[in-house]
Structure 1
Amino acid sequence: MDHQSMKICHLVALPYPGRGHINPMMNLCKLLVSRRPDVLITFVVTEEWLGFIGSATKPENIRVGKRRNIPVASLWTMSASVFSVFHYRELLDKKGHFSVELSERGNELVDYIPGLTSTRVADLPTILLGTGNEATRQILNWAIEGFSGVLNAQYLLFTSVYKLEAPVIDNLKAQFPFPVGLIPNLVAQSLYVSLGSFRSVSSAQRDEIVAGVRNSGVRYLWVSRGDTSGFEDVDDDAGTVVPWCDQLRVLCHSSIGGFWTHCGWNSTVEAVYAGVPMLTFPITMDQVPNSKQIVEDWKIGWRVKKQVQSDESLVTREEISEIVQRFMDLDNGERKEMKEKG
């Protein structure tokens, strides 16, 4: 079409149909429309997601744009640091750190990825470590295939904060022949608890977390995605359990003093924006390196798990109760430092 003769610029948004991908893409579209009323956006989702938001893509969609000479912008919904890990995965392979056994090499340092601080192999995205599981290998193949499509785009966008990842972002700007940009982040102390919207902890670990948080004596707001088991006799004065909430609005509320998080990237940047210290409890994928950065690089959170543990190794309710009490103690010097950094 002759865009010069058109008053309306029509964009097509094709998010990957995963729970951590829809929201940032939708927020980007809302931001574009708020600034450019002459932009019309078609937002393509699966039937399942259409039901959720009231209105299945594959990497082949980015290549369709290129074939039809339509400018394509790729939105990366994890951290820029994780993007770099994928981008430089050949270095991991050369150093023997790609798909390794954690019990043998988990504490070895990866200090050769441009822009990234030194990190342990165990703190890399879990999908790159490999378990020999066929399903995991298939997911890895999909991820690598999807990542390769980025090079077909004309723009690369991140939902990140420049001050947090400046060395990484600067390196990427030098590496890629097209613009790399950042999407502006979404514009009595209680602990906000959310265990993620997709993969969660085992039922046994969830029971320990529920008991530990309740036994800590700290007020809490818990988003349980409809699963209220363990909360049947909750005292209204102790905490509130809801199936869903507007997370950013909650984190920005003055009554929230801490965030128990699985360290998904959306949750991470929203907590950074709100200046809320985090208790990190990563489960899979990029959540592990995100946790490492929160605790070790940015120093705005604590780990619940002190070391890499197998899925069968539970963090007990006693341990959880103790760390929640210390974390939410307003007189704790470490907490004050985290709050200042946030």
Structure 2
Amino acid sequence: MAMNHVVAVPHPGRGHINPMMNLCKQLVSKNDTILITFVVTEEWFGLIGSDPNKPDRIRFATIPNVIPSEMVRSKDLLGFMEAVATKMGAPFERLLDQLEPPSPSLIVTDTFLLWAFDAGNQRNIPVASFWPLSALAFSVFYHFDRFLENGHYPVNFQESSHERVNYIPGVNAMSLMDLPPPMMATKQEILKKTFKMFSWVPKVQYFLLHTTYELESQVIDALKRNLSKQIYPIGPAIPYFDLGDSSTTFASDEDVNYLRWLDFQPCGSVLYVSLGSFLPVSSAQMEEIAAGLCESGVRFLWVARGETERLSKVCGGKGLVARWCDQLRVLCHPSVGGFLSHCGWNSICEGVFAGLPFLTFPIAVDQFPNCKLIVEDWKIGLRVKEFMVENMAYLVTREKISGLVTRFMDLESNEVKEMRRRAKELQGICQYSTSKGGSSETNINSFIRDVILSNSH
């Protein structure tokens, strides 16, 4: 049987690697002739190379690390972006030329990786761009010059923080507070690289979106009109296909304990808290969140990475603080009734798939427009944190957090009942899209037929 060889290359960050891997798992599950080489840095291979749920027809290939360690990324975002842009391209090209047969018939690359487009074009290998964030975030970034032309960026929060603009195709009127934090604008190198990256998008033949058409139909339709290319909304690219797998192995007894703890909590009573795995939150803010959660009296499960011991002491007995969890499994647990989130796109997709409303606590970049999507467009959330400006970062106080958490988890409140009703509606849309005949399932089958299989002949 002739194999169709796809080379997948994600940006070296968890929020990019995870959805790319989930996309690849879907591709090989739907067609027996697809073989995928998944390219990661040596560091990331050490972190994910032993994935027990990886199909045999996805094989890893590695290139050298671009930075000394993962910890550098959050401390020097500009340096990390520069390293990815300048140090990964050459080893990727060498790897591409040395791959075992069959020859690659397609490259699926993260939209952020310009050098992968170059490598494919030079070798006459078709390239599909995979956008791992929301369609709304893409449209905001793609049309960012409009904010600059209208003098709306960087934002002057004293004068115009509540000003609304309505000139981004497919995007409902949005507050300037929902733009990526203005601290980005002081780093002109980042802006230049961003514009260069998006200047390549019209030249890409195939565009994959990590979203569900029905959840962002207005902005996707606008992108189809403006980009005039084959666009495939194939999301959510989350591991929903592993939910029924009881063979999942857990890292330690602690990992089993949080599921046991959830089993003994009343239905819909637990607030799940996670502020992501990459961008840091100040110790002072973490203290305020911990105190606010405790003062609210609400049950909570908080995944707090390296600060579990300190925060456990602050939080007392109402909640459980863990260093890690199987997030989608937790969100789908019947005891969980809400999600306090940093609004990273993967977390949003998992929360929507689980039918949950959100308390939004955006930290950086696309998380701010994502917050607008949750609160204003879908109406399934409340804002905890509204903006962040360089040199004006502010603490959300324990009093505000306590009051919002209490309000948000009040199951008798009509406001909360309505949010939960809408969240269940979106859950139905999202879950149907991935089932037989749903839009995402149809789109991924079309991508396999129209792109992967056709390019192999």
The 1-side partners of 2:134 and 2:388 are apart by 23
Give me the CA root mean square deviation: 1.9
Say whether 1:39 aligns with 2:119. no
The 2-side partners of 1:79 and 1:49 are apart by 24
Select the structure that is richer in helix: 2
The 1-side partners of 2:6 and 2:170 are apart by 33
Q: Specify the alignment match of 1:14 in structure 2.
A: 9
The 2-side partners of 1:84 and 1:151 are apart by 13
The 2-side partners of 1:312 and 1:114 are apart by 30
Which piece of structure 1 moves more, 26-35 or 213-222?
213-222
CA 1:98–1:338: 2 relative to 1, 3 Å:
same
What's the offset of the Cα at 1:132?
A: 5.7
User: 2:312 pairs with 220, 223, 231, which one?
Assistant: 231
Deviations along 1:32-81, whole A, 9 cap, x unmatched?
Answer: 01111211111111122111102554411122112211121111111111
Number of corresponding residues: 331
User: 1:265 pairs with 345, 354, 379, which one?
Assistant: 345
Q: Specify the alignment match of 2:92 in structure 1.
A: none
The 2-side partners of 1:147 and 1:51 are apart by 31
Q: Specify the alignment match of 1:3 in structure 2.
A: none
CA 1:322–1:245: 2 relative to 1, 3 Å:
same
**SS across alignment from 2:365:** coil
Q: Specify the alignment match of 2:420 in structure 1.
A: 339
Deviations along 1:316-341, whole A, 9 cap, x unmatched?
Answer: 11221121111111101111101111
Q: Specify the alignment match of 1:308 in structure 2.
A: 387
1:192-211 → structure 2 map (5 Å cutoff): 192-211=272-291
1:1-342 → structure 2 map (5 Å cutoff): 7-54=2-49, 56=84, 57=88, 58-126=113-181, 129-130=182-183, 133=186, 136-185=187-236, 186=238, 187=240, 188=266, 189-228=269-308, 229-232=310-313, 235=316, 237-305=317-385, 307-308=386-387, 310=389, 311-342=392-423
CA 1:19–1:319: 2 relative to 1, 3 Å:
same
The 1-side partners of 2:388 and 2:194 are apart by 25
Conservation of the 8 A alpha-carbon contact between 2:312 and 2:320 = no
The 2-side partners of 1:302 and 1:271 are apart by 14
Conservation of the 8 A alpha-carbon contact between 1:115 and 1:171 = yes
Question: Could you list the runs of 5+ residues in structure 2 that have no partner in the other structure?
Answer: 50-59, 61-83, 89-112, 241-265, 424-457
CA 1:220–1:317: 2 relative to 1, 3 Å:
same
Which letter does structure 1 place at the counterpart of 2:302? W
CA 1:131–1:263: 2 relative to 1, 3 Å:
closer
The 1-side partners of 2:276 and 2:387 are apart by 19
> TM-score, normalising length from structure 1?
0.91
**SS across alignment from 2:280:** coil
Which letter does structure 1 place at the counterpart of 2:387? V
Conservation of the 8 A alpha-carbon contact between 2:328 and 2:350 = yes
**SS across alignment from 1:93:** helix
Conservation of the 8 A alpha-carbon contact between 1:100 and 1:130 = no
Question: Could you list the runs of 5+ residues in structure 1 that have no partner in the other structure?
Answer: 1-5
Which letter does structure 2 place at the counterpart of 1:271? G
What's the offset of the Cα at 1:259?
A: 0.3
Identity %: 52
**SS across alignment from 1:258:** strand
Q: Specify the alignment match of 2:260 in structure 1.
A: none
Conservation of the 8 A alpha-carbon contact between 2:411 and 2:417 = yes
Which piece of structure 1 moves more, 97-106 or 112-121?
97-106
CA 1:340–1:150: 2 relative to 1, 3 Å:
same
Deviations along 1:95-128, whole A, 9 cap, x unmatched?
Answer: 22233433333322210111110011221122xx
What's the offset of the Cα at 1:309?
A: 5.2
Conservation of the 8 A alpha-carbon contact between 1:82 and 1:125 = no
What's the offset of the Cα at 1:10?
A: 0.6
